[in-house]
Chains A and B, each alone.
Chain A
């Protein structure tokens, strides 16, 4: 038992769950830095996971599966854009609607596979792909948001939409672009989850909660790409520890529930601590984030 608490193994095991959360959270980060919050993230992950599973099982191709997952995520992004940015519907209402739409359609699509196993990545390959994707995306977004002038455009929109617009930012185009990028990252997260975590098989309920946790990662990461990646990796570590907990605890239904709830409890505790840090350091979310 104690031998399985090998640190290197824990660190390695954490990579895939960390990358799934991290990619989804980094996508959300882009949207939030442009001044919107997409509460539909959970639904986006569900529909992308379901679509990727159905298509990859049918075609036997991971690439085609990924593209299907991307198309599904883009569809939800397009609905969000049209209703919130064009029609002016409240973003929280739309976000929550997308959660139900996305998870509902995700289940239908997932069941098309009939429980069969599609193509999947070997465990080592999956970990390498996950690590590369997370590190590259994090650094890429860091350079984009904090260093490039287009990053300033995005952030200006998140801080003061009116001022940004007066300077000449085309608000809709920037928001549409951020939503599209989010869909790409969500599709990557969902595909990684499918090919690297659930062995190419769609499994009901497995991805549930990842989107909500990713929203928390953005807050824990202080709206900064590096922070989001670090927060996601720490939660990934918690997942690896969690997978060991049942063997360390006495058997019992109560413990099982507690173990399942551990990530959520940890995130709530961490967010409480983070908000205290916010108050001390003056960190705050993008100013215009809740204005629609």
Chain B
């Protein structure tokens, strides 16, 4: 019933230097005009597989065919010239360039002769046609993750790729944005392109995919027609025998009354990267023992708010009181010593030094914590190692070893490690931004449970998330941030429709 596949992988195998078998003889065909869902837990090998298809990684063995012809991709360029474009999970754009400049560059490299003016026009046209809102003249470093994601997709469309590999495209998007993206993949497929949609959200693949491929521990478990797939069947393929042991949803337990105020923010005004007001008069108060959630569509001032709370972005007006002290003018070190811990959005670079090992990242992470493994000014490496061991054990972090660089771990394991480290600081206040983005179901549940547990143990917790479902699960109160202001505040039981409306109301039409 289908014609010959456009891209075909035959027994592709990839073993990483640490001995981790990321892809174990994976064979998969991709057809024109289909949305192929690629489902699997973090660490199942999905990203490795598409990276091989996109020429980012070279397989150790196996064959890739494009339109029946065997190809060997040495560089991403080789894949692009064969019409295969990867939209990576963490957007890969040149920060110093504008969106249009990035698109022009990518198009030129793919062999299209377009200038900057045409690139700008193209971005505008594509973003209008497909509903991907991006400003062609915005510099990438000032964009939120959601905006970068959209820019990446526009870039892939601008080079006229016939096969789009979308790696967790909805991870950084708010529910309405994710919805739009899924509709978009459908539309692209109906135009004759192929879309490979990597995700761990069942609902997403069941909604839009024609076929669903499931990977587990580096192997392809199977491919099923979406019409014949069910939630239960897919879960079983994804998790195997572990499913029976692991309850997939747990009822949120009730909690003791909240204690004293830990963080008190009054009339906070903060400038964004372009000198525009990003946070406009935010009031916020968090008590010990409660989880406060901040909901909102990406790019509404959440990032700037977090940076101001951490102490790495200057406060223009207003005050931040933490643990009874005015910390408005104090840096992140002073706030850390007072018991502030952070799980930031950027795991690599902010929370972790990618090329360094776990022990190093423990020693560094505890730098401004009074509980750090230090003897005076000397690092107690044995102590740091014991802490790292404890994190790996309690958080069930899968790692090639304590001495392996953290970048060798999958995103989910990095996040488990970061959360574990921050929690061990026994913070008064834990700040987290999009803590479960890109994590699979089990890992996300685990992280969310810890956030709740930390609050139960007496800490104040602030979760800024674009995933409303997550906030509904963990938060005691939800504040909705829209264009730099807190526009709505909700207590349990939450009125989901009102929250969702507050998130998107004004944003429409901008």
Contact = CB atoms under 8 A, between A and B. Distances in A.
Interface of A: 149, 152-153, 155-156, 159-160, 162-170, 287
B97 A159 contact: yes
A166 B88 contact: yes
B233 interface: no
A155 B96 CA distance: 9
Contacts of A149: 104-105, 108, 115
Interface stretch (B74-82, B319-327, B431-439, B456-464): B74-82
B316 interface: no
Contact of B75 (A153, A156, A159, A168): A168
A188 B275 CA distance: 44
A282 to B, nearest CB: 10
Contact of A168 (B93, B94, B110): B110
B106 interface: yes
B94 A160 contact: yes
Interface in B45-104: 56, 75-77, 80-81, 86, 88, 92-97, 101-102, 104
Contacts of A167: 76-77, 80, 92, 102, 105-106, 109, 155
A156 B108 CA distance: 13
Given A152-B104, A168-B76, A163 B109 contact: no
A153 B96 contact: no
Residue from A153, A164, A165, A166 whose CB has the most chain B CB atoms within 10 Å: A166
A153 B97 CA distance: 11
A167 B97 CA distance: 14
A160 B109 contact: no
Given A166-B86, A166-B92, A152 B76 contact: no
Interface string B305-340: 000000000000000000000000000000000000
A149 B116 CA distance: 8
Given A164-B105, A166-B88, 13 more contacts: A149-B104, A149-B105, A149-B115, A152-B104, A159-B94, A159-B95, A162-B92, A163-B93, A164-B94, A166-B76, A168-B76, A169-B77, A170-B77
Q: State which size class the interface on B falls in.
A: 20 to 34
A163 B94 CA distance: 6
Nearest to B56: A166
A152 B109 CA distance: 10
A168 B97 contact: no
Given A166-B56, A166-B76, A152 B108 contact: yes
B108 A153 contact: yes
Nearest to B110: A168
A168 B96 CA distance: 18
A168 B95 contact: no
Given A170-B75, A287-B95, A156 B105 contact: yes
A288 to B, nearest CB: 10
A152 B77 contact: no
Nearest to A158: B96
Contacts of B101: 152
Contacts of B105: 149, 152-153, 156, 164, 167
Interface in B412-444: none
Residue from A153, A162, A167 whose CB has the most chain B CB atoms within 10 Å: A167
Top-9 shortest CB links A-B: A168-B77, A168-B109, A163-B92, A166-B92, A149-B108, A159-B96, A167-B106, A156-B94, A152-B105
A152 B96 CA distance: 11
A160 B92 CA distance: 8
Contacts of A163: 92-94
Contact of A287 (B80, B96, B102, B109): B96
Contacts of B115: 149
19 contacts: A152-B105, A156-B94, A159-B96, A159-B97, A160-B92, A164-B94, A165-B75, A166-B56, A166-B86, A166-B88, A167-B77, A167-B80, A168-B80, A168-B106, A168-B109, A168-B110, A169-B77, A170-B75, A170-B77
Contacts of B88: 166
A165 B86 CA distance: 12
B83 to A, nearest CB: 12
A173 to B, nearest CB: 10
A207 to B, nearest CB: 35
B167 to A, nearest CB: 12
B121 to A, nearest CB: 16
A167 B86 CA distance: 9
A159 B97 CA distance: 9
Nearest to A284: B96
Contacts of B77: 167-170
B273 to A, nearest CB: 10
Contacts of A159: 94-97
Interface string B251-291: 00000000000000000000000000000000000000000
A284 B115 CA distance: 26
Contacts of B76: 165-168
A36 to B, nearest CB: 17
A149 to B, nearest CB: 4
Nearest to B86: A166
Contacts of B102: 167
A232 to B, nearest CB: 25
Contacts of A155: 94, 96-97
A155 B75 CA distance: 19
Contacts of A165: 75-76
Interface string B176-200: 0000000000000000000000000
A168 B75 CA distance: 7
Contacts of A166: 56, 76, 86, 88, 92
Nearest to B75: A170
Nearest to A162: B92
A172 to B, nearest CB: 10
A155 B98 CA distance: 13
A145 B110 CA distance: 20
A162 B407 CA distance: 14
B335 to A, nearest CB: 24
A166 B101 CA distance: 15
